[in-house]
Chain A
Amino acid sequence: MYTWHKTAKELVGPLLVVEGLEGVMFDDLVQIQTANGQTKMGKVLEARKGAAVVQVFGATDGMDLKGTKVRFFGSPYKFGVAESMLGRIFTGFGEVNDGGEKIVEEMQVDINGAPINPFMREYPDDFVQTGISSIDVMNTIVQGQKIPIFSVAGLPHAELAAQIVKQVKIKRGGEVDPDFAIVFGAIGITFEESQYFINEFTKHGALSRTVMFLNLASDPVIERIVLPRLVLSTAEYLAYNKGRNILVVMTDITNYCNALREVSAARKEIPGRRSYPGYMYTDLASLYERAGRVDGSDGSITQLPILTMPEGDKTHPIPDLTGYITEGQIVMNADLHRRNISPPIDVLPSLSRLMSKAIGEGKTRKDHAGVANQLFAAYARGKELKGLMKILGESSLSPEDLQFVRFVDAFETEFINQGTQTDRDIVESLELGWKLLSLLPEHELKKVKSQDIEEFMRKYQK
């Protein structure tokens, strides 16, 4: 079989240098046996004549050079996937983690995937309903889109993720798609958070249509680099081989990037901005770009990565590079959270780039674009006036201006603040939008069509 090599020469963080080898394969899968009999896996990060730099998946503490044995499998890491993974929980390295039976593999896939040929992509133009008004109406998510949630430490993004997973649905030919499934990746989260997710999903029956991969904060850092690739390989199999529509939720991408930085530092690579590796854009793209829809398959992969912005700074490399790759962002806001608005989604900096083609007649409802633009414009104006009011006092505003100020409050407390347990259908959300718009002077509603005003808003005017 495979020869065991006892020629480990260097151990630095998660990296192991092995010498005295012949014909090393780049990206090869490696098995490592430590002196105390532990077995770990790894992969070849750099292949040289006679030597290999191996990235060890798992903790390297307590390892020594003398007692370490290494063997190479002669093939990059492959992961066995199957439809029966639905409803199951796995570790960050793809092992069963719920005490259940092993999975009977249906196919072995290369976890790095391959780039989708842009020529074979289908442009995403179908609506995904999250049941959350501020997302569905204002920042509509589209099947095949990748749109991150930008959060800050201390905000309830876990609750938002759980709410989305519980409520999300898509329609196929007018019917709710029963095959719609979720692949959920938890990267470096705490034990408590992981239990929260498992409980929430179990309680609401969402677990049966979910594949979960969990890497806890106490688990090896290196697993965090592998986990998203397992998540996406599973998603690709379910989407393109099984024709399912898939939503991928990954939290927290910041932990992924920090793991990437850790490995890069151990390899003594030249650091880029804030000491993240220079190739982080390409690396993140190799994850995010695995979202999409393709020609000849009924399936789709929609990605909803969640990341906490360090210090709430949007120009930090993690949100910045993510923003350049993804198709918009949903931004959570600490101020709204402090005022008990839940989920605290700030619609102004949020943006869904693909939204325009997935809404309107035949997709959601014909008035959708108008309502979304009008709500946005009115909210932006009202917020500005509110700021002015703080400085100059209420007397400085005209009665019309005050209508806008009141609109802002109503919009936040009724439209955005729906709570974590409410699931709103898109029609319900749009109607609520009209109800709020009816608070404004009608001649100011320039973004909606007048027939739509007649059809949808009249009934709310007193």
Chain B
Amino acid sequence: MTQEHGAIYSISGPLVVGENIPGARLYDVVYVGSSRLIGEIIEIREQKAWIQVYEETSGLTVGEPIETSGSPLSVELGPGLLTSIFDGIQRPLSELAKRSGIFIARGISTPSLDRTKKWEFKAVLSRGDVVSTGDILGEVQETTIITQKIMVPPGITGTIASIQSGSYTVEDTVAEIKAEDGTVHKISMIQKYPIRRRRPVSAKILPTETLITGQRVFDTFFPLAKGGIAAIPGPFGSGKSVSQQQIAKWCNAQIIIYIGCGERGNEMTDVLKEFPELTDPQTGKPLMDRTVLIANTSNMPIAAREASIYTGITIAEYYRDMGYDVALMADSTSRWAEALREMSGRLEEMPGEEGYPAYLTSRIAEFYERAGLVECLQSNDKKKRMGSISVIGAVSPPGGDLSEPVSQATLSVVKVFWALDASLAYARHYPSVNWLQSYSLYEETANRFYAKLVDPEFPSMRAKAIEILQKEADLLEIIRIVGMDSLSNADKVLLDTAKSLREDYLQQIAFDPIDTYSSIQKQKGMLETILTFHEEALGVVGHLADDADISKMFVLPVKKRIAMMKIRKEDSLETFVQLLSEVKKELTDFKGSDLQMGGREDMYKTINFLEETPEAE
């Protein structure tokens, strides 16, 4: 008699060893115990299989049955993904809540996509068309802003034998494709795809555009390309999650995948409650309509945390294949790495640095390599279709120390590094991106892109601004040693401009309704104004004696206007032109005025600045 199932041999936390499991294959999903907990085979040795279990294993007993599902850990891809919130193995949390209330019970298996909901399928191709993997058969209006393209699943080629527009559930057959050997593939709107395998593409290409996030420090100074990868490392309290959320909210990707991986429950709730209420600046539609959330909070099972980032990126690849720009945020990859470490420890593998497995670096690189700008896979004769995945991974280095293995492995692959700085956060400078440590290797791409999009001068403005900030650091060093007195007036102008750049440009208030998003045009306007003040002020100083008192220059009324630029509405962009002429006028007047004249007491009153100060964070 052949046995249908194997048995549990040992249990230690999320690691279960099973023996004699018929049909056991590496990375296949198995059902563990009589409560059928979901697990994945991660090692096979002779008759035994090592299984990481995605649910709490408390109460499992040695000898209970284990059965294999016969397929690897997969996600369901199809209409209904957007606006959903899943756990790390793509179970819809709303469905889990219906089944087990406020706490997540074990052994619940539920389909990822709603099986009963009907979608309007509009056929794009017709009977007799020859198709291959990736060709778009039809479309479904998934949300108000996103049309899901129903594609020929990987591995299928042939001639369309039937295709019919109409109202279907995800499992209904919408088309039939007859392969050359005569087999007929029934195509529904749902695809299953293993999460640990990359979805095939036609070709990978170098990024050409910038992902615009509406965050000045990122867009202007350290731009991320569409299809690029960035890391945000930072100690706790430095505003990592807020930065990630800001990008998720405002960036100009069409699809957002947000993975809360081993993070706080309340934080995910914040995202969950806030996103449906926010509108996308590009389309005016709810942000949730372009978003998939994956939440595996720190107290949810650790193995599912390991799976969550693969679940996320596979969904991202699916939308990329349709020709969309996808942005994926993973918060935080350190928690994912810790999940790897914990499983590795339980497997009694030889530990590498700080107990992390030796394969940590390759796993991280492999994950980030799934990002990129690609030419989507489809029949050769079709018009080229491009899609991209930009990945922004948060790293939470213990004690803020970047020399630890996860930060180092991440830094060796990413192209953009947004270094969050606890001391800036401590001084309430948000986003607390350190402008001296951060870098972007997409500068050239961004320069070309911005020169076309905004202003050919923008790249040089940017370079100038960075130079000023760099010089400021040097000057501050000098001041520390010899004091302010040693500075020339030109140096003082530079320090003032640097301060203006830091406070009026780099600092951006996420909670202010206007400042939360700056269009690239506004960014240029702001930067130009600050730099014009700098140039003009230098011009004035050049006409004065070396020991002239110029302190009044830094409190000219126009400085207040500059400080308020960030909370100016986007539709009043023409005021930047006006502001520029004011900068020039006031400085010219200043040059002509009597510098020894008493202080202008009314200066503080010229504009009621306090009234317009944004509500503090």
Contact = CB atoms under 8 A, between A and B. Distances in A.
Contacts of A122: 269
B102 interface: yes
A121 interface: yes
Contacts of A45: 12
B96 A117 contact: yes
A394 interface: no
Interface string B595-611: 00000000010001111
A150 to B, nearest CB: 12
B155 interface: no
B354 A273 contact: yes
A289 interface: yes
Contacts of B351: 270
B76 to A, nearest CB: 18
Nearest to B15: A46
Given A271-B355, A272-B355, A327-B264, A117 B61 contact: no
Nearest to B301: A115
Contacts of B297: 115, 118, 285, 289
A101 B512 CA distance: 57
Contact of A110 (B58, B273, B345, B428): B58
A191 B268 CA distance: 41
A79 interface: no
Contact of A118 (B100, B295, B302): B295
B266 interface: yes
A279 interface: yes
B398 interface: yes
A123 interface: yes
Interface in A342-385: 348-349, 351, 353-354, 356, 369-370, 372-373, 376-377, 380
A290 to B, nearest CB: 7
A49 B62 contact: yes
Contacts of B260: 118
A121 B57 contact: no
Contacts of A351: 237
A44 to B, nearest CB: 8
A327 B266 contact: yes
Nearest to B341: A278
Nearest to A322: B236
Interface in B246-285: 260, 262, 264-266, 268-270, 272-273
B342 A282 contact: yes
B396 to A, nearest CB: 6
A403 interface: no
B5 to A, nearest CB: 16
Given A292-B266, A348-B426, A446 B102 contact: no
A25 B610 CA distance: 66
A50 B103 CA distance: 33
B262 to A, nearest CB: 8
Interface string A95-126: 00000000000000010111111111111100
Q: Say which size band chain B's interface belongs to.
A: 35 or more
A270 B428 CA distance: 39
Contact of B610 (A49, A269, A294, A449): A449
Interface string B396-409: 10111100000000
B104 interface: yes
A289 B299 contact: yes
B317 interface: no
B56 interface: yes
Given A282-B298, A315-B398, A117 B93 contact: yes
B616 A447 contact: yes
A143 to B, nearest CB: 11
A370 to B, nearest CB: 6
Contacts of B355: 270-272, 278
A324 interface: yes
A450 B342 contact: no
B265 A116 contact: yes
Given A49-B9, A119-B97, A369 B269 contact: no
Given A46-B12, A114-B103, A115-B299, A120 B338 contact: no
A369 B11 CA distance: 51
Task: Find the residue from A22, A112, A119 having the highest chain B CB count within 10 A.
Answer: A119
Given A273-B398, A278-B355, A327-B264, A76 B58 contact: yes
B613 A23 contact: no
Contacts of B302: 279, 282
B85 interface: yes
Given A118-B272, A272-B355, A24 B345 contact: no
Interface of A: 22-28, 45-50, 75-76, 110, 112-124, 144-145, 240, 269-273, 278-279, 281-282, 285-286, 289-290, 292, 294-297, 314-317, 320-321, 323-325, 327-329, 348-349, 351, 353-354, 356, 369-370, 372-373, 376-377, 380, 443, 445-450
Sorted nearest first, the 4 A-B pairs with minimum C-beta distance are A315-B399, A285-B298, A289-B299, A119-B93
28 contacts: A22-B63, A47-B10, A115-B301, A118-B85, A118-B93, A118-B265, A119-B94, A119-B96, A120-B97, A121-B269, A123-B266, A124-B266, A145-B266, A269-B345, A270-B345, A271-B355, A279-B338, A282-B298, A282-B338, A285-B297, A285-B298, A289-B265, A292-B265, A315-B398, A317-B398, A353-B237, A446-B609, A450-B610
